[in-house]
Structure 1
Amino acid sequence: MMNFLHNPPRFLFFTGKGGVGKTSIACAAAVQLADAGKQVLLVSTDPASNVGQVFGLSIGNQVVAVPAVSNLSALEIDPPAAAQAYRDRIVGPVRGVLPDAVVKGIEEQLSGACTTEIAAFDEFTALLADDAATRGFDHVIFDTAPTGHTIRLLSLPGAWSGFLEAGQGDASCLGPLAGLDKQRTQYQAAVAALQDGARTRLVLVARGQGATLREAARTHEELAAIGLSRQYLVINGLLPESEAAHDPLAAAVLRRERAALANLPAALRELPVDNIALKAFNLVGLEALRQLLQAEVSGITPIGSEPHIGLPDAPTLSTLVDGIAAPGHGLVMLMGKGGVGKTTLAAAIAVELAARGLPVHLTTSDPAAHLSETLAGELPNLAVSRIDPHAATEAYRAHVMATKGAALDEAGRALLAEDLRSPCTEEIAVFQAFSRAIRESGRQFVVMDTAPTGHTLLLLDATGAYHRDVARQMATGSHFTTPMMQLQDPARTKVLIVTLAETTPVLEAAHLQDDLRRAGIEPWAWVVNNCIAAAPVASPLLRRRADSELREIDGIRSRHAQRWAVVPLLANEPVGAARLRALANCEHTAELRG
């Protein structure tokens, strides 16, 4: 049995950088415990959950039994559904009692991303507080959103408890906060459960890559600081040594993984560790899940002796960069599931545009992104920044106190300062920083590495709420431009959806495209990253994965993308300007030799 499943407590959290396999491992752990006779509830807190896709059934915002697995039930915390239920709970009692104009005003206050986050958080804490929905379960397993979102979620119980203890404010989040005071006991119980090592275990999931291991180390330290000290480490998707014998690319990947493990961050060295080997199959379906945590799996079906030679006619990233560069300025947003390589591709595009003499601002809205590690240096024509939630929040608080607070007396300033300590303030501050980055693209290129899908959709929700608010307040016939209008203008904004050629990432990318289209934003291109099918491989395991990728690529080309490009799996991590330019210009043979 894996270390992380030895004598498991009631609550298990799986977290880590996007794309490391949190969902697959959480689902496999849930199946293993259920098979052992335990009653298990599997919960996804990811706004872009794909637990239902893994099991091949529709789950949603109510607890449902998984028919193929006795003792297993599942729940996906659906932020929009949670927000609607939260709004109904607050507005319902006053509908028909207060004037319609007042009720409409309350509904407007409850229409933004702040309400969505509070509502999802409210459901999350209810599960931790041992309410009626979970009393019949021996274990509750949480498949969480990628790291940055999860750190915020796990710190919110303490943040809201402290805020309520100090007395709530009355400006930025008056509507959303209306239902919070009643939940004080629930939040205190959630904090107690999270900090109790006998009840809660946190499983950090990483890959054999320096970036994800460093991310795991940072997550370990941040969550330990808020009392989540019982932590385990799982390193997923390690290439078996036998696959490297006759394959230069596989041998290079194996060397890279060994180097990363040899340099394991000090913060992780004392944690119990489990290693999980890369599998030849996609982790979709019950049979695959039951094999994931096994030390050995059934053999790989022979597929002939001829090596896979790649996709010589597939469009390359360089063709997309040419189209991006043509207008001389604009906003380029890379979106997608966590772990698909948005940060690397954003950096590669920005570096190539800057190398052509074009002014570029490379920025990220991902709380867990680290562009400086990818760039590893400075370049002419390229400015780099990060929308840091903490820094943005402090700047916003200072601005509000210096403007709105300047006209208030001492008591009024004290109330305003208290209101600005609300965790909701962070959402407002991040949205404003996001809007400033959008405005800059009118005179230069702004390349934005966005947060993983669910968090980005919440940010777009705030953008849409702001747009509706401005439109409602402007007189008929007035001319105005909002950030949402710029995102909807294909002449000013190009959205690139990044995915891997695997079943779940492609399905999630397709759902993201549908969500963007409903918001009036048409994706410009798809990029298939780390593509084994686009690389020459001889390893039987990699060839089997390449064959399955070809089916996914055909679906992207024929059903989803207006234009598309493929970036192959590389022998070396594309870190530093030279390798990023090589990636953008498709100099892959040189990279493989390196």
Structure 2
Amino acid sequence: MTSSIFYGGKGGVGKTTCAAATGLRLAAEGRETLVVSTDPAHSLADALEIPLGPEPRSLESVPRLSAVEIDPETRADRYERIARALASDLRSAGVRLSDEEVERLFASGAPAGADELAALDLLVEYVDGGSWDAIVFDTAPTGHTLRLFDLPAVMDLALETTQSLRGQVRRIGDSAKRMMLGPMAFATGGDDGPDGLVDLRGRMHRAREILRDPDRTEFRVVTIPETMAIEESKRLVDRLREAEIPVRTIVVNRVLEPEAVHDDCSRCRSRASRHEERLEEIERAFPNLAVVALPEAEGEVHGLRTLEPLADRLSRAPSPVPAE
């Protein structure tokens, strides 16, 4: 059973670093692991120091680890085919809608919400059709992430309405064909292929099932020891619980620990003390969640060598991924 770990939170708190480090540890433990970036502003390739694209790529230096940066444009053709099928049905019922008008819907690239739709589409594809034991998601900043989890319910209503409208339009068109052509009306066959709307709606239902399954999915909120970031994390946890997304861990990144402070740096001691207070505040605010603190790095976290110490810390967090 493929398990999923999502990292999310405020922009710039280190979600990509956490996702990459977790993927590194899971692969080292013998699990076939895929790290997925759903953030439109990708930085996963930089963290792993490997060129990435819209198709999963294996890391030669790390057996059993692959990574991918989702590009919503690569899914736009699927959504465009659905729009063209709808346009064909409308035309069959006498509603004038030219190819040029359909084309204009996609003239500016992927439609609004395509980032989240592509992420959910590929979530189902990777979990149900892939060969990975674990998938780690580096999500976009909070607003995008909440849309990601709200999308299945929103899309279900929209697709149900569209599907109903499509059925009515097709019945009108079929009636017109029978009146004009009689028994020969459908001699050339019916649909050109599977109904894209039905397929898409089914994938949205499946995505919601996966996201809400506590036995295979966990969302980890990443924050830093600063008041604004903590407050945003509280709102995010509340929204995730409302959406029935399993949350078990708060990761507090960039914590200046007392043992890392030089005795002659009063400013550093003051900052370490403040971070300690913020950690206590986080533990009080989230009494039912595990709190994992990651130390402030001396330099930039970039590349596999710098990810390994973080991977050790993150391995202490509860995980839906079953142990070997």
* Structure 2 counterpart of 1:137: 132
Superposition map of 1:39-78 within 5 A: 39-78=32-71
Query: 2:277, 2:312 → 1: CA distance?
Result: 25
Match 1:190 to one of 207, 221, 245: 207
- Shift in CA distance, 81/166, structure 1 to aligned 2, threshold 3 Å: closer
The 8 Å contact of residues 9 and 223 in structure 2, kept in 1 or not, is answered as yes
Is 1:256 equivalent to 2:286 in the alignment? no
* Structure 2 counterpart of 1:125: 120
- Shift in CA distance, 113/227, structure 1 to aligned 2, threshold 3 Å: farther
| Aligned partner of residue 231 in structure 1, secondary structure | strand
Cα deviations by residue, 1:229-273 (Å, 9 ceiling, x for unpaired): 333111111112131522133123213212322333755221011
TM-score of the pair, normalised by structure 1: 0.43
* Structure 2 counterpart of 1:525: none
Q: 1:276 corresponds to which letter in structure 2? A: L
| Aligned partner of residue 41 in structure 1, secondary structure | strand
Give the aligned length.
276
* Structure 1 counterpart of 2:105: 109
Q: 1:103 corresponds to which letter in structure 2? A: D
Q: 2:35 corresponds to which letter in structure 1? A: L
| Aligned partner of residue 33 in structure 1, secondary structure | helix
* Structure 1 counterpart of 2:300: 282
| Aligned partner of residue 283 in structure 1, secondary structure | coil
- Shift in CA distance, 155/218, structure 1 to aligned 2, threshold 3 Å: same
| Aligned partner of residue 263 in structure 1, secondary structure | helix
The 8 Å contact of residues 31 and 134 in structure 2, kept in 1 or not, is answered as yes
The 8 Å contact of residues 65 and 72 in structure 1, kept in 2 or not, is answered as yes
Query: 1:225, 1:123 → 2: CA distance?
Result: 23
How far is 1:57 from its partner? 1.8
* Structure 1 counterpart of 2:291: 273
The 8 Å contact of residues 255 and 294 in structure 2, kept in 1 or not, is answered as yes
The 8 Å contact of residues 11 and 140 in structure 1, kept in 2 or not, is answered as yes
| Identity score, percent | 28
How far is 1:167 from its partner? 4.7
Cα deviations by residue, 1:310-368 (Å, 9 ceiling, x for unpaired): xxxxxxxxxxxxxxxxxxxxxxxxxxxxxxxxxxxxxxxxxxxxxxxxxxxxxxxxxxx
Q: 1:271 corresponds to which letter in structure 2? A: L
Query: 2:280, 2:288 → 1: CA distance?
Result: 14
The 8 Å contact of residues 127 and 133 in structure 1, kept in 2 or not, is answered as no
How far is 1:66 from its partner? 1.6
Match 1:31 to one of 11, 15, 24: 24
| Aligned partner of residue 203 in structure 1, secondary structure | strand
Q: 1:111 corresponds to which letter in structure 2? A: A
Superposition map of 1:79-90 within 5 A: 79-83=72-76, 86-87=79-80, 90=83
The 8 Å contact of residues 281 and 288 in structure 1, kept in 2 or not, is answered as no
* Structure 1 counterpart of 2:226: 209
- Shift in CA distance, 240/134, structure 1 to aligned 2, threshold 3 Å: farther
Higher relative contact order (CA 8 A, sep 6+): 2
How far is 1:276 from its partner? 1.0
Query: 1:165, 1:210 → 2: CA distance?
Result: 42
Superposition map of 1:442-481 within 5 A: none
- Shift in CA distance, 56/215, structure 1 to aligned 2, threshold 3 Å: same
Query: 1:134, 1:246 → 2: CA distance?
Result: 57
Moved over 4 A (4+): 88-95, 130-134, 166-170, 178-181
Query: 2:213, 2:220 → 1: CA distance?
Result: 15
Structure 1 gaps, min length 5? 1-7, 171-177, 296-594
How far is 1:138 from its partner? 0.2
Q: 2:299 corresponds to which letter in structure 1? A: F
The 8 Å contact of residues 38 and 70 in structure 2, kept in 1 or not, is answered as yes
| Aligned partner of residue 152 in structure 1, secondary structure | helix
The 8 Å contact of residues 276 and 293 in structure 1, kept in 2 or not, is answered as no
Superposition map of 1:92-491 within 5 A: 102-112=98-108, 115-118=111-114, 120-130=115-125, 134-167=129-162, 180-242=197-259, 243-264=261-282, 267-294=285-312
Q: 2:7 corresponds to which letter in structure 1? A: F
The 8 Å contact of residues 36 and 70 in structure 2, kept in 1 or not, is answered as yes
How far is 1:285 from its partner? 0.9
How far is 1:128 from its partner? 3.1
- Shift in CA distance, 227/166, structure 1 to aligned 2, threshold 3 Å: farther
Cα deviations by residue, 1:544-576 (Å, 9 ceiling, x for unpaired): xxxxxxxxxxxxxxxxxxxxxxxxxxxxxxxxx
Query: 1:92, 1:62 → 2: CA distance?
Result: 27
Cα deviations by residue, 1:53-109 (Å, 9 ceiling, x for unpaired): 1122221111111222110111111133433564367559999xx9xx922211111
Structure 2 gaps, min length 5? 92-96, 166-194, 314-324
| Aligned partner of residue 60 in structure 1, secondary structure | coil
The 8 Å contact of residues 76 and 109 in structure 2, kept in 1 or not, is answered as no
How far is 1:133 from its partner? 7.5
The 8 Å contact of residues 48 and 302 in structure 2, kept in 1 or not, is answered as yes
How far is 1:166 from its partner? 4.6
Query: 1:161, 1:225 → 2: CA distance?
Result: 18
* Structure 2 counterpart of 1:20: 13
How far is 1:127 from its partner? 3.2
Superposition map of 1:577-592 within 5 A: none
| Aligned partner of residue 292 in structure 1, secondary structure | helix
The 8 Å contact of residues 120 and 148 in structure 2, kept in 1 or not, is answered as no
Cα deviations by residue, 1:7-46 (Å, 9 ceiling, x for unpaired): x970110001111111001100001000111001111100
- Shift in CA distance, 236/185, structure 1 to aligned 2, threshold 3 Å: same
* Structure 2 counterpart of 1:532: none
The 8 Å contact of residues 117 and 148 in structure 2, kept in 1 or not, is answered as no
How far is 1:163 from its partner? 3.0
Alignment RMSD (CA, Å): 2.9
Cα deviations by residue, 1:456-489 (Å, 9 ceiling, x for unpaired): xxxxxxxxxxxxxxxxxxxxxxxxxxxxxxxxxx
Cα deviations by residue, 1:102-145 (Å, 9 ceiling, x for unpaired): 22211111235771523x33432233325587431000111000
The 8 Å contact of residues 43 and 142 in structure 1, kept in 2 or not, is answered as yes
Q: 2:291 corresponds to which letter in structure 1? A: V
